[in-house]
Amino acid sequence: MTIPISSRASLDVPSDARSDISDGTSSTNDGGDDGWEDIEPEDESQSIIGLFSDDIYPDVRSLLKDTKERYNFDLAKVQKDLGLDFFGTVKLINYIRSEVKKGVQKPDVSSKSLFDDEAYLKPVIEDDALLYNLDDIASDADGPQSEKVQKTDTETQLREVQEELSRLQEQFFNYRLAVQQSLSVQLSKEDDDPLQGMNSARDGASRSMTEEVDYDYFKSYSYNAIHESMLKDTVRTDAYRDFIYDHKGLFKGKTVLDVGCGTGILSMFCAKAGAKRVIAVDNSAIIEKARLNVFANGFGDVITCIRGKIEEIKLPVSQVDIIVSEWMGYGLLFEAMLDSVIWARDRYLAPGGLMVPSHATLRIAPFADADFVDSHVSFWRNVYGFDMSSMLESVHHEAIIAPTKTSSVVGDSAVFLQLPLHTITVKELSFLKPFELTIADDVPRLDGWLIWFDIFFMTSPTAKLKDDALPSELRKEGFVAFTTGPFGPETHWQQCVLLIDPEGEKPVPLQKGHVIRGEIGYQKKEKDARALDIEIRWSIDDHSLKRHQTWSLQ
C-alpha cells in the first residue's frame, strides 16, 4: 500500500433487487411489476427457449429430447443424480444459461456446489417458460407414468421465491440506510472539526506529530484514487488473486485476517476461495465502502469488517489461520505498515499459520542516467526562462519515486535485506547492511542508486528463500512472485532513485569490472514515524575516495 506523490440470508441480494434499492425506494411487495412480481405467464402456451441455443420448443419434453440428442446433455438425469429440489433446479437452469451466455458450450455440472449461489435464483431470461414447467423435467427422468416423482406446485414455489426476494430486498434496504446514516454522522463531524476523529475535545492541547501523521495517513486512504491505482496495478492484484485461487486448499475452512483491507478485494478473494471466516480491518473511512462491497457481492456471512488500528481493536476471534495483507510501501518500508502486520502476527496468528505474502527482499543497484539527472536537477536552472536554482537546495537528498530504464542499471543488483514474514521483527526493520556490486559497463560517472523490492508467496510457514532468489526463476517453478524493479512490468511502486550529490567534485569514471562495496541503512525519521532516512556508505576499487550520503523518503 502506498500514498500517492450479520447473516448471508440478509445480504445475498440479486442485482435487480439492489437496483431497486439504489433508487431510494423500499422493495417490499407493493404490487409493482418489476422482478418476480408477475409470477404467472400470461400466455399458457408460451414457447420454451433452448438451453444451448436460441431454438424454440413447443414443450419441455421436446427440449429435453433435442438437448439430449444434439448436445449430449440429459437435464433430467442431472437433476436426478444431484438430487435437486425445486430451488436447486432453478439454480441449475440459470447457471447453465449464464455459462452458455459467456460462451461455455459444456458447463460443468459435476457438483451442485458449482451453482449453489443464491444469485442463480434470478432468471437469466426474462419470463423463462422453462422455469414454469419444472414438473415436466422431473417426470421425464423416469417416464410420465412414474409414481416416484413427487409433483411440485410450481406456482406455489415461485410465490415462495417472490416472498424471499422481497424479504431480502427490505433487509438490504435497511442495512444500506443504516450505513448511510452512519456515514452522514461521521461526515458531519468531520465538517465541524476535521480532526475530531483523533481527539473529540478541542481544548487547545496540541497533538503529537505521530498523531498528526497517522491522521493524514489514514485519511489519504479514504479516497477512491489511491485504491483505484492499486487495483489497476495488475502485477500486484493478480499476484494475490493467483496465489489465493491457485491454493484454495490452504484457505478452505480457514479463518483469515486481512490487515489494511482497503476496498476489501483481498478479503473477497479469500472468501471466494472457501475461507470459513474473514476479518477485514482498516483504520480509514474506506472500511465503510469495503463493507458495502462485501454485502453487495454476497459475502456478508463470511467477511466481518472492523474499523480501527489492529493494535487497538479486539478481534472476535483469539486466533487466525492466515494473515493476508498488502502492506508494501515505496522502497518497501515507507509507511511502516509492516510494523502493524508483525504485531498482528505475534498477537493473532496460530502456530503453523501462514503469512501472505511470505517473503520480501530489498535490492540495490548502481544507477547512471544523464537524461534522468537533467530532468530532475538541471531542469530547475531554466524553467520557462526563469532561474529556479533555489529548488536545488535538497534535490540530491530527497528520494525520487519514478520508473527507470533498464539501461540505467549499470551493474548487477544485490539483495541487502531479506524479510521472512513469519519471523522478521520490527527491530530488524531498522538496519545497516553490507552490499557489493560489480559494474557491468564503462560509465563516465555514477549518478546514484536504485532500490526496489521483490515479493514472494510460499505455501508453507517454514519455506526458505534462497539468498539471491529472483521472482522470474520462482515463477518458472510454479510459485507466485513479482518484482517492482525496472526489469519487470511497471508497478505503482515504481523504483526508488537516490541521486548522488556531486559536491563540486570531478566525476569519477567507472570501468567494467569495478567493484563497489558499501553499507546501506534504513532508519525511521523518528520513533513511530512513517517516513524513512536511507543512508549509504560506499567506496570503489582502485579509488581512495569514500562517500557517505543520506536521503529522505517522505
In the block, which residue shows the cell 496460530? 350
Three-state DSSP at 174 gives: helix
DSSP 322-339: EEE----BTTBTTT-HHH
* Residue 168 near residue 10, CB atoms below 8 Å: yes
In the block, which residue shows the cell 492541547? 205
DSSP 141-155: HH-TT-SSSPP--HH
Residue in 99, 118, 288, 335 annotated catalytic: 335
Instruction: Tell me the pairing of strands 303-307 and 277-282.
Output: parallel
* Residue 553 near residue 523, CB atoms below 8 Å: no
C-alpha span between 452 and 331 (Å, rounded): 6
Closest by alpha carbon to 14, among 124, 154, 142?
124
CA–CA distance from 283 to each of 6, 181, 207, 450, 516 (Å)? 21, 19, 18, 32, 43
Phi-psi region of 113 (alpha: psi -120 to 50; beta: other; left: phi over 0): alpha
- All 3 cell numbers of residue 285? 473511512
Strand partners of residue 550 = 535
Residue in 312, 326, 503, 505 annotated catalytic: 326
C-alpha span between 335 and 289 (Å, rounded): 22
Q: For residue 543, what are the contacts with CB-CB under 8 A and spacing of at least 6? A: 508
C-alpha span between 473 and 478 (Å, rounded): 9
Phi-psi region of 101 (alpha: psi -120 to 50; beta: other; left: phi over 0): alpha
C-alpha span between 261 and 270 (Å, rounded): 12
C-alpha span between 412 and 485 (Å, rounded): 12
Whether 126 is catalytic is no
- All 3 cell numbers of residue 389? 536554482
Whether 44 is catalytic is no
CA–CA distance from 226 to each of 220, 230, 286 (Å)? 8, 6, 11
Closest by alpha carbon to 431, among 496, 551, 498, 519?
519
Q: For residue 370, what are the contacts with CB-CB under 8 A and spacing of at least 6? A: 447
C-alpha span between 202 and 205 (Å, rounded): 7
* Residue 489 near residue 399, CB atoms below 8 Å: no
The catalytic residues are 326, 335
